[in-house]
Amino acid sequence: MKTWYKAVCDNHKEFIDIFVNNVATTNHYLLKNDEIINAWLQLYYGCNLRLIHNDLDLDYCFNNKYLLIKGK
């Protein structure tokens, strides 16, 4: 089972896939989005970001119309 972690910016109501349960799996699934992830993290560097991974947190983001930043 893979656990996908997302970084959330509550100030801007956005979230993005940031890593998967370990380095090798993250590399496999998210390497192609490295530039997008890096740009997003730099854009919100001064924000109070948080990590989420469970259904309740995801439901909160979707129910409150947070924008999911998608990769390639």
Which tens digit of pLDDT belongs to each residue from 35-61?
Answer: 999 999 999 999 999 999 999 999 999
Q: What percent of the chain has pLDDT over 70?
A: 100
* Rounded alpha-carbon distances, angstroms, from residue 41 to 1, 2, 8, 56: 26, 22, 10, 23
Q: Taking 90 as the threshold, does the pLDDT of residue 1 lie above it?
A: no
* 25-39 per-position pLDDT tens digit: 999 999 999 999 999
Average pLDDT of the residues of the chain: 96
Report pTM: 0.92
Which pLDDT does position 54 carry in this prediction?
95
Residue spans per domain, the chain: 4-69
* Alpha carbon distance 3, 17 (integer Å): 11
